[in-house]
Structure 1
Amino acid sequence: MSKTCKLIPFKHREIVSLLKGRHSIRNISEILGKPKSTVHNVIMKYNKEYCINTAFRSGRPPALSEQNKRQTKKNKC
């Protein structure tokens, strides 16, 4: 299990708005209750790419391929 959690886009916008309000990384971290490293990473990504959204993650690959699914359906009948 991962030690990190994905921030919702609302939290990203909160971090950026607090940054624009002249708050420090430490202060933002204390206000939102998030680690300083997380706040730092969001700010660095915003400064580099002007992007607030997180990247799409496809998740775990399916256990069965489409061909295997068709074969199991065929064998049930």
Structure 2
Amino acid sequence: MSIEEDNPVCVAGLAEWQAFLLFCIPIIGIIWTYSKAVHRCLVIEHRETGEADEIALQTATANWRVSEGQQKTADISSQSR
């Protein structure tokens, strides 16, 4: 007595599940890999944008300091006249 002889419906059900899993597991793997790649690209893009924002902030701060220094120089020269 084997399982096939005792329960033919159960064996057919197992074969359907096996076919289902053999079909779905690679698809799930492809979706998982794609989502990780998209996430990595978004992180890199955000990092580059953040660096650009930081450079813009540093440039604006430097420009403000230069203009502040020029204003102080102008104030000193006007007071000395």
Q: Same fold (TM over 0.5)?
A: no
**Which TM-score bucket, shorter chain as reference?**
under 0.3
Greater RCO, CA 8 A, separation 6+? 1
TM-score (norm 1): 0.26
TM-score (norm 2): 0.25
- Report the structure, 1 or 2, having the larger helix content: 2
